[in-house]
Copies of this chain bind each other. A is one copy, B any other.
């Protein structure tokens, strides 16, 4: 009984990456590249979308981000194996993607053989990561143990200004509050985050994606 070829598709807004992957797959008989797409709409309207075994999905993707796309696809095609590809390996992003049902995450800096190997393994149902990503995931981060503290409205407001580099004096003027009040809030922030100075505070907020605009507009 012969092995069926693995049907691959790519969604990436970098034509060069698609070109590179095409060449790669054309040199490996065990893969069948169904198509490479620059836009998510092109993939969605692809008539053979249900035949895709493995989808390589770019994470930093034009306007839609890959994480949302992964979520959508997994809902409609639960059997589709999705591998994130990206040039950055931000911990929080990798974890988020896995939560959305992806089977792994490959860096674009990975070697060709690594791609071939990982895709095969993923097709078998395994969770795969390219080397660098694996190393990164193995490091248990402080932020994994520390839970993100719950902040009050004022504290979030002050944190946002702090991150902009405003001093206590400036913040107090901007919010029409006493200098001493801001000092208290700052101290409470340092305590809540369990850090020893403002730089560490920002660093922590940064690691946990609290610096992104998204967090400040909605979730607070």
Contact = CB atoms under 8 A, between A and B. Distances in A.
Copies of this chain, whole number: 2
Contacts of A199: 162-166, 198-199, 202
12 contacts: A15-B112, A16-B24, A16-B115, A19-B19, A19-B20, A165-B196, A165-B197, A165-B200, A165-B202, A199-B199, A206-B206, A206-B211
A18 interface: yes
Nearest to A62: B109
A93 B54 CA distance: 35
Contacts of A20: 15-21, 23
Contacts of A164: 199-200, 203
Interface of A: 13-24, 38, 60, 62, 87-88, 108-112, 115, 162-167, 195-204, 206, 211-212
Contacts of A202: 165, 199, 202
Nearest to A198: B199
Contacts of A23: 19-20, 22-23
